[in-house]
Amino acid sequence: MQNFEKQFTVTKDDLDELDHVNNVRYVQWIQDISKEHWIAGASEEIRNNVVWVVMNHNISYKGAAKLNDLIKVSTYIDKSHGATSVRVVEMHNAITNQLLLRSKTEWCLLSSKSLRPTRISDEIKNVFS
């Protein structure tokens, strides 16, 4: 599957009371890169007809990121079936390549009109391949 990546630097607003990146921030970054990957690949017409919602996040924290760390975030679709898709997100320290986090998120595709689950079409699968 197609891999999508970006990098950014940890700021003071990302930190918790231990001066590590807050777990809530990691979840936000998972959602942000997922949305950016979708927007980068799907046409406006497709995006107007469907919407993705999270069913389940499974996150394994492997290391702590700190202020000014450069983070490399990558994502890809692991598998899709029916109306659901499993997306993997990994975050590494871009300098040391240390794995900081690995997540698997199960997403459900909904019709934007009915808000009911809808089968992932080949056209949508092709966005990620």
17-40 tens-digit pLDDT: 999 999 999 999 999 999 999 999
Q: Are the beta carbons of 50 and 109 closer than 8 angstroms?
A: yes
Q: Where are the beta strands (DSSP E) in 69-119?
A: 70-81, 84-93, 99-111
Residue 13 DSSP class: G
Mean pLDDT estimate for the chain: 96
Residue keyed to tokens 């450069």 = 70
Query: Given pLDDT bands bounded at 50, 70 and 90, which one contains residue 128?
Result: confident
Q: Domain 4-127 adopts which CATH fold?
A: Thiol Ester Dehydrase; Chain A (3.10.129)
| Cα 124 to Cα 28: distance, rounded to the nearest angstrom | 24
pTM score, whole prediction: 0.94
Q: Which residues pair with 59 in a beta bridge?
A: 103
